[in-house]
Structure 1
């Protein structure tokens, strides 16, 4: 898949992490039904690989599905076997290179200018600024875009609706959203409330449609 193009088009990555595999799978399928095209399942969730495998079967071969928190080469290989077609990392570990060798585009975690340059050299498709809120929010993104005006930045960490607007206005190609979107749905919480949050975030990113 062309991850950079997908990020530019859809502007939102939903991050699913939960302790209830059945609820996590239900969350993925609900988000997909609500029109959220880019979904990652964090490998830190319970039976995350099983969730990815079942989600892939339910969604079919053409719907983008990512694995998050890919740290090691083994993580990348396991995610690929389960059916993930893109990888998301919190940092520039060995998972980046392993995912690239498997043909999986990578949204690679960076924070500093040095890491941005390193990620570019590793072939990352896009750059996940993490943790974005703690780094300085939209103002930090704006500062990074001075020396790196064309890099596809995706802030992640503490991104609520207001922050999403701020990052997109500051030039982010997309935003990654976990708990402000997912809430407790992946642990068995309300599906109707998840649907409402999904619609609210879709409305926010629609303001910045390209």
Structure 2
């Protein structure tokens, strides 16, 4: 194989240390604040806001000003170059995509923003990693389980992987024990909080996840 080895940016330091990314897929960007207030106060240091939530990019500079000193704010569900450029321009600390698109990896790296592309097969995951991804997202993680990462790390011992999709509290512990760089969680932590649910219960669930992931640090 010929060619230069791509530059690899690292996932942000707070995300790497916390080993926990919370995916906040809200009905509307106006719904972010009440949930992010609790998450950040309870110790979350990395949040992925998704482009499937209307208004995310428009609100991102404001949210970065409010929470960015305490937590990494990433933008997820990036699926094309236009979205990537817009997220970079709005100040995203990192990018996440559900696909292993080498063009997105190259564009993010050129822009100086770490990117975590998603895939499921060894070919997809290693291709994205070889292309310079900061880490690769095993998605959907619930169809393979933590033993899959142990298998991947046989031929690819240096790969940094972040499982995403159906990762609950026990799953977070198991994936981290299997060698995950971090875990990406959504519904099992957020519950009904984005639909007006109990914020005290959200705080309790968050504390549990922070404690479990902190033990793996």
Does the 8 Å contact 2:12/2:72 carry over to 1?
A: no
Aligned residue in 1 for 2:177: 169
Deviation at 1:188, TM superposition (A): 2.9
Per-residue displacement from partner, 1:28-87 (whole Å, max 9, x unpaired)? Answer: 232112111111101111222234232112124674210011111111111122221200
Deviation at 1:205, TM superposition (A): 0.8
> Partners of 2:12 and 2:59 in 1: how far apart?
24
Aligned residue in 2 for 1:207: 215
**Gaps in structure 2 of 5+ consecutive residues:** 1-8
Please show how residues 100-139 of structure 1 align to structure 2 within 5 Å: 100-134=109-143, 136-139=144-147
Tell me which moved more, 184-193 or 107-116: 184-193
> Partners of 2:62 and 2:198 in 1: how far apart?
21
Structure 1 residue 43 corresponds to structure 2 residue 54? no
Does the 8 Å contact 2:125/2:138 carry over to 1?
A: no
Aligned residue in 2 for 1:56: 64
- Among 5, 8, 25, the alignment partner of 1:17 is 25
| Aligned length in residues | 208
Structure 1 pair 62/181, CA: closer, same or farther in 2 (3 Å)?
Answer: closer
Per-residue displacement from partner, 1:130-189 (whole Å, max 9, x unpaired)? Answer: 00111x101211111111122111111100001111111111111000111112222332
Structure 1 pair 5/56, CA: closer, same or farther in 2 (3 Å)?
Answer: closer
Superposition RMSD in Å: 1.9
- 1:46 aligned counterpart, secondary structure: coil
TM-score calculated relative to the size of structure 2: 0.88
Tell me which moved more, 114-123 or 63-72: 114-123
Per-residue displacement from partner, 1:181-208 (whole Å, max 9, x unpaired)? Answer: 1122223322222111110101111221
Structure 1 pair 66/198, CA: closer, same or farther in 2 (3 Å)?
Answer: same
**Gaps in structure 1 of 5+ consecutive residues:** none
